[in-house]
């Protein structure tokens, strides 16, 4: 069980108690994570209502880590997640995004410069409506 992200009144405690967790970098994360690529329309167009339902149901059931990236829909995955997470207690999940991959053209899509990296962190925080990210991965 993962008491560090359990929020009474938010989680479905019966479903939550069935989730398994593992240690990862000093945190207990759910063995099932939520990938955000589909929220950026990578596989089909999704409405904000669909994203909200998936995110809220997943978190309520005990999923406590979310993966996203600017690359997933050129920022739309992060933006949609930020909207879906508006009324979710921040302590109930870990979230990480990725930096390094931006444009559509293969020859110009990567930028690992310090300036772009710092800007990407700020952009992700703004889109996700978060004060902090638990991890930022170089992709």
> Of 21, 72, 93, 102, which is the active-site residue?
72
Task: Please say if 72 is a catalytic residue.
Answer: yes
Q: What is the DSSP string of 67-99?
A: E--TTTTTTHHHHHHHHHTTTS-GGG-EEEEEE
Decide if 18 contacts 8 (C-beta within 8 A).
no
Dihedral sign (CA 98, 31, 81, 35) = positive
Residues with catalytic roles: 72
């Amino acid at each position: 069980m993962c008491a560090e992200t359990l929020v009474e009144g938010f989680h479905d405690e019966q479903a939550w108690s069935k989730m398994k967790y593992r240690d990862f970098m000093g945190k207990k994360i759910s063995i099932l994570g939520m990938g955000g690529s589909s929220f950026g329309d990578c596989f089909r167009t999704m409405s904000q209502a669909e994203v909200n339902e998936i995110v809220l149901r997943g978190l309520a059931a005990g999923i406590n880590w979310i993966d996203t990236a600017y690359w997933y829909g050129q920022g739309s995955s992060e933006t949609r997640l930020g909207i879906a997470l508006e009324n979710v207690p921040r302590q109930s999940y870990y979230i990480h995004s990725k930096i390094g991959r931006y444009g559509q053209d293969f020859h110009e899509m990567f930028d690992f410069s310090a300036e772009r990296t710092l800007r990407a962190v700020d952009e992700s925080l703004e889109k996700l409506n978060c004060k902090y990210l638990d991890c930022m991965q170089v992709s």
